[in-house]
Amino acid sequence: MAFDLVVLALYPQAGVTVFRKTASNFLQMLSVLPPIFILLGLLEVWVPREAIIRFVGEGSGLVGIVLSLFLGAAAAGPLYGAFPVAATMLRKGAKFSNVMVLLYSWSTLKLPMFLFETSALGAQFSVTRMLINIPGVIVMAWLTSRLIPYAEQEAIYQKHLLTTTT
């Protein structure tokens, strides 16, 4: 918002455009976040912590990776919607690298985008991109979980455990 004011002061005509775009983005965000928070509330209540730990927790192995890939890829909505989901998964006991897989696949492997991309750019391009990105997402998640020190990962878990309402 401060940036908008600076642009408005320096370049009034451009500032009006910037304010309109900011307002549009804000309204779009307001339309996306409430359904995400409703779904997260249902996830908190309906999905036991033990299920999250079993399917995407520390010992979940390949099942956790595949499930995280699918959840991220199947998700609809902008990337900022993924962060509350990631926080809930951490709070429920998901493995850090699986949460990274979810975030990276949410940003890279969107199935709705894949369908649009296929119609616009062709199946060969879309399938090739997807096949390259899937291992890339897994490698990035693995690297992230190795490069972020264990103490910092624990601090992230503790932060989300302390915000638990259940």
Most confident among 8-17, 41-50, 145-154 (mean pLDDT): 145-154
Rounded Cα–Cα distance for residues 86 and 13 (Å): 39
Instruction: Select the more confidently predicted residue: 47 or 146.
Output: 146
DSSP string, 73-95: HH--S-GGGHHHHHHHHHHHT--
User: Mean pLDDT over residues 115-129, rounded?
Assistant: 95
DSSP string, 18-65: HHHHHHHHHHHHHHHHHHHHHHHHHHHHHS-HHHHHHHHSTT-HHHHH
| pLDDT given at position 117 | 93
Average pLDDT, the chain: 89
| pLDDT given at position 165 | 47
- How many residues are given for the chain? 166
Rounded Cα–Cα distance for residues 141 and 145 (Å): 6
Query: In the structure, what pLDDT confidence band is assigned to residue 166 with cuts at 50, 70 and 90?
Result: very low
- Three-state DSSP at 4 gives helix
CB atoms within 10 A of CB 98: 30
